[in-house]
Amino acid sequence: MAVAPSQPQTVLPPVMPSRSPIARLRRWLGGSFSPYLFIAPFVIFFCSFSLFPFLYSFFLSFTHWHGDTDPRFIGLSNYLFLLTDSSFWQSLLNSVALWFLIIPLRVLIAVIIAALLSLPALRLRSFFRTSMLLSYVVPLVAIAQVWLVLFDQDFGAINTLLGIIHLPAIGWLTTSMWAKPTLALLVLWGGSAFSVLVMLAAIQAVPAEYYEAASIDGANGIQQFFSITLPLLRRTIAFLIVFSTLGVVQMFAEPKVLTNGGPYNSTTTAGFQLNAYITNSDFGTGAANSFLLTILLVILSLFMLRFLQTGEEK
């Protein structure tokens, strides 16, 4: 009896269990959602209050918008207007002049005072360190009011003292020649404490072994300062210069309270000029102004950091 040939059996591939979209997402993220849940608050906060305002401001810089209607796209008109506007360049020149009046003196004062406060032989070191915080914790408006009383042309204490020694009164806040130095003196008084504290922390971070080795080699205190302390403060000085530069360019409260940008716009800083556009509801021009300042500050910061780098860092 003939036997029928057996039919070949078809081998089916194993059926893989289907993965849900959530499971595939979990596998793509590394197997766990927990790390992303921990950083989610920061991401949400950053996107809501930093990234979105930045991008929206960048969009507004290409529009004409005063807040009452929808923004109207005008291309580079706002940037071209600012680059040909004498007020914009005058505010930058005022900021540059204030930079030369404030930053070198602030850094020099910070280095000298911090070096003195770090001397072990100095008596009442804790008292002097605490007193340095006085100008930092006092509100700016209060300090500006004191400046108004001191430097008033008719009834100020400074001009009263000048009259006692038979010198003419000076328009500290009413003349273009003296308004900038008076404003710079206010900024120096209000911001030098922070610089001193940063510099003091940097000096105290210098290893004591360096000074011990220098003492064994016969170096005195002054030689140790210029050969060890000052070179190791280079990065801190660079940080203070960049940080203070940002503050000078963005300065608004000090000229607003003290001189209101006058006289004759001699104390109108870049930050004060930017606020003027916002106050006048010219948000498109204000956004363009802010981005021009941002580009300028980035370039200046990179240049100063490069200039202050040591030979090993280059």
For residue range 211-249, list pLDDT tens digits in order.
888 888 888 878 888 888 888 888 889 889 888 888 898
Domain that holds residue 204: 86-307
For residue 185, is it within any domain? Answer: yes
For residue 77, is it within any domain? Answer: no
Q: 3-state DSSP call for residue 73?
A: strand
List, in order, residues 6 or more apart from 138 with CB less than 8 Å away.
190
> What distance lies between CA 179 and its chain's CA centroid?
24
The tens digit of pLDDT for each residue in 30-57 reads 666 677 788 888 889 989 888 998 899 9
For residue 1, is it within any domain? Answer: no
The pTM assigned to this predicted structure is 0.81
- Number of domains the chain is built from: 1
For residue 275, is it within any domain? Answer: yes
Give the DSSP H or E segment for 63: strand 63-64
List, in order, residues 6 or more apart from 28 with CB less than 8 Å away.
none
pLDDT of residue 15: 47
For tokens 């860092």, the residue is 313
For tokens 């940002």, the residue is 246
Tokens for 161? 């003292």
CATH code, domain with 216: 1.10.3720.10
Q: Would you tell me the crossing angle of helices 86-117 and 176-204 to the nearest 10 degrees? A: 40
For residue 191, is it within any domain? Answer: yes
For residue 70, is it within any domain? Answer: no
Contact 71, 65 (CB under 8 A): yes
How many other β-carbons are positioned within 10 Å of the β-carbon of residue 168? 7
Name the least confident of 21-25, 259-263, 285-289: 21-25
